[in-house]
């Protein structure tokens, strides 16, 4: 550590700043800088004061904290939580640590957490215009490293969308606005609950939230995917006169439509196709075929879409997997012919063949296996392969919006990517970061997910305020690089705070939050310092 060092020579005192370290157990000089005599040091201080130079400087992180503070002041998350769970006695910020923060959440019940989330989202949407006319619903799950013996109702094993089926997981259902991608409602549920069962359990809850946005005879459309489909769920939606739906449908249950020749399809008048035309790729345009079909007890409008690019990718993938499967079968045949141990039973070989197909995510029907006494043969089933090729690139969309044009139906279904993008943000390793989830009690998991939903909402709100092509990740990374400088002058009790010269993106963020910049560096708002210690007004 640097320290002051005094030398006396011929009765005069000289001061140095130096640092020492040990080399081989002995103290050695690392570096040394001459400061001067007491008189020269005093003269330098007096000169600095006369020139208006600060006596002390300090830099602190500013940009990202400022954004969080500005959004908090707008949404009043602290006020919402305090209104539900009042502050306890003898609480002060000096005792706040990460551990004690989570200990405090033990005072918060499940009902209080859900109420806090509901009030926060109501505050987020209060006065926002226009109100949603189309909403998106989807689910995902988040894995945990919770031990098997740890008791939990939420963290259980089930089908993992991240492919980690061996880990316990927690499910999250999210309802978001199609136009803005802002969350409207969320639901935490056990990780082994199927999407359709969850949808059935919370439909009444969703109806209450959705109908809160409808005024008079205004209708609202819910967009979801085929995982939510069931006769009971669609019957509940049909019973609501002001709610319509758009969903996808499995090609397996309507193979006669999925196998239609794309020559019967019409090119859609949508922005994606316009872009492909500009790139001189007319053969890659999305096409569609529209018809009606009785599903779930009622006549529905069905749109079959065809994406040539998707088909080419799937064909390439199928060819690669079929060749890989053939290589495996050649080895199986040789081992059966040689009657190697564990390879003498046709039933065992068929079981291993099915297992390889599962690993490759390909149908076992594409090859037919035959066995005689000492030989094994296999051949491709071209009828099955051609049937699989016929549905490649096809997607079925079902709706009760008979009055919508085909393009409107397709665009509504395609916009499901918006809520999927929010899930990707929640799983990213920065800013929201639901995973990894280190909590092992249901109460902490609910609190953790509440804070993550708040963060997700704030990030999306920031994107909307800035209104540019930059993502929230880019905006926050840029703001993290914006620092503040605190300058202390002689005789002043408080420092003067200045902000670094912001770049173009940082300026956009500050302007979007309602702050102005003087001379390109100093923010001119009175409450800007409230989160950095109550320093004097800029």
pLDDT reported for residue 101:
81
- Distance between CA 213 and CA 206 in Å, rounded? 11
443: closest CA among 62, 107, 91?
A: 107
pLDDT reported for residue 517:
67
Position 346 in a domain:
yes
| Residue that is last in its domain, among 349, 369, 390 | 390
- Distance between CA 434 and CA 449 in Å, rounded? 7
Position 537 in a domain:
no
* Domain with 341 in it: 310-390
pLDDT reported for residue 48:
65
Number of domains in the chain: 2
Position 408 in a domain:
no
3-state secondary structure of 380: strand
- Distance between CA 406 and CA 27 in Å, rounded? 82
269: closest CA among 407, 423, 127, 108?
A: 407
Position 337 in a domain:
yes
pLDDT reported for residue 52:
65
Note the pLDDT tens digit of each residue in 48-75. Answer: 666 567 777 788 888 899 999 999 999 9
Average pLDDT in the 280-304 region?
96
> CB 172: neighbour CB atoms within 10 A?
22
**Does the predicted TM-score (pTM) go above 0.95?**
no
- Distance between CA 207 and CA 222 in Å, rounded? 10
- Distance between CA 378 and CA 359 in Å, rounded? 19
pLDDT reported for residue 523:
56
Position 339 in a domain:
yes
| Residue that is last in its domain, among 365, 390, 415 | 390
The answer to whether 416 and 175 are in contact (CB under 8 A) is no
The answer to whether 230 and 196 are in contact (CB under 8 A) is yes
Average pLDDT in the 374-385 region?
93
Position 163 in a domain:
no
> CB 347: neighbour CB atoms within 10 A?
8
Cis peptide upstream of residue 457 (ω within 30 degrees of 0): no
68: closest CA among 448, 451, 496, 419?
A: 451
- % residues pLDDT > 90 (the chain): 56
- Distance between CA 510 and CA 517 in Å, rounded? 8
The answer to whether 302 and 254 are in contact (CB under 8 A) is yes
- Distance between CA 301 and CA 360 in Å, rounded? 35
| Residue that is last in its domain, among 390, 405, 432 | 390
The answer to whether 144 and 213 are in contact (CB under 8 A) is no
Length of the chain measured in residues: 538
What is the strand order of the sheet 266-267 is part of?
Answer: 183-190, 169-177, 134-143, 220-223, 243-249, 394-399, 298-306, 287-295, 266-267
Note the pLDDT tens digit of each residue in 115-158. Answer: 999 999 999 998 888 888 899 999 999 998 888 888 889 999 99
Position 353 in a domain:
yes
Position 19 in a domain:
yes
């Amino acid at each position: 550590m640097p320290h002051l060092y005094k030398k006396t020579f011929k009765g005069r005192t000289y001061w140095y700043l130096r640092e020492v370290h040990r080399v081989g157990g002995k103290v050695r000089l690392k570096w040394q800088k001459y400061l001067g005599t007491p008189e020269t040091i005093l003269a330098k201080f007096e000169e600095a004061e006369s020139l208006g130079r600060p006596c002390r400087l300090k830099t602190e992180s500013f940009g990202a904290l400022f954004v969080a503070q500005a959004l908090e002041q707008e949404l009043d998350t602290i006020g919402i939580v305090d209104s539900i769970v009042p502050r306890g006695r003898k609480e002060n910020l000096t005792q706040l640590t990460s551990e004690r923060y989570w200990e405090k959440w033990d005072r918060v019940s499940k009902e209080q957490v859900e109420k806090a989330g509901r009030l926060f989202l109501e505050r987020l949407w209060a006065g926002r215009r226009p109100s949603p006319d189309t909403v998106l619903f989807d689910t995902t799950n988040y894995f945990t490293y919770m031990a098997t013996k740890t008791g939990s109702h939420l963290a259980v094993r089930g089908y993992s969308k991240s492919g980690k089926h061996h880990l316990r997981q927690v499910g999250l259902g999210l309802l978001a606005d199609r136009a803005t991608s802002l969350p409207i409602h969320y639901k935490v549920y056990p990780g082994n609950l199927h999407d359709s069962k969850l949808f059935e359990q919370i439909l009444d809850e969703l109806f209450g939230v959705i109908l809160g946005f409808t005024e008079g005879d205004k209708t609202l459309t819910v967009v979801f995917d085929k995982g939510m489909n069931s006769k009971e769920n669609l019957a509940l939606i049909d019973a609501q006169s002001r709610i319509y739906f758009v969903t996808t449908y499995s090609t397996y249950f309507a193979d006669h439509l999925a196998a239609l020749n794309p020559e019967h399809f019409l090119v859609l008048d949508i922005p994606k196709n316009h872009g492909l035309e500009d790139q001189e790729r007319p053969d890659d345009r999305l096409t569609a075929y529209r018809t009606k079909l009785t599903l779930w007890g009622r006549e529905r409008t069905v749109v079959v879409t065809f994406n040539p690019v998707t088909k080419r990718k799937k064909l390439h993938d199928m060819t690669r997997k079929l060749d890989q499967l053939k290589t495996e079968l050649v080895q199986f045949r040789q081992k059966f012919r040689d009657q190697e141990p564990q390879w003498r039973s046709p039933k065992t070989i068929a079981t291993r063949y099915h297992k390889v197909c599962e690993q490759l995510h390909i149908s076992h029907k594409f090859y037919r296996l035959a066995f005689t006494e000492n030989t094994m043969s296999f051949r491709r089933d071209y009828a099955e392969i051609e049937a699989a090729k016929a549905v490649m690139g096809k997607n079925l969309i079902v709706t009760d919006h008979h009055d919508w044009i085909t393009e409107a139906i397709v665009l509504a279904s395609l916009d499901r990517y918006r809520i999927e993008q929010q899930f990707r943000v929640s799983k990213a390793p920065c800013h929201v970061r639901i995973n990894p989830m280190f909590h092992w009690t249901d109460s902490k998991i609910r609190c953790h997910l509440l804070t993550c939903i708040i963060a997700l909402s704030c990030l999306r709100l920031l994107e909307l305020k800035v209104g540019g092509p930059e993502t929230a990740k880019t905006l926050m990374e840029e703001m993290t690089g914006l620092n503040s400088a605190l300058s202390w002058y002689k005789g002043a009790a408080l420092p003067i705070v200045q902000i670094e010269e912001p770049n173009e993106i940082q300026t956009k963020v500050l302007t979007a939050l309602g702050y102005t910049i003087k001379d390109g560096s100093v923010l001119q708002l009175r409450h800007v310092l409230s989160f950095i210690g109550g320093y004097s007004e800029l």
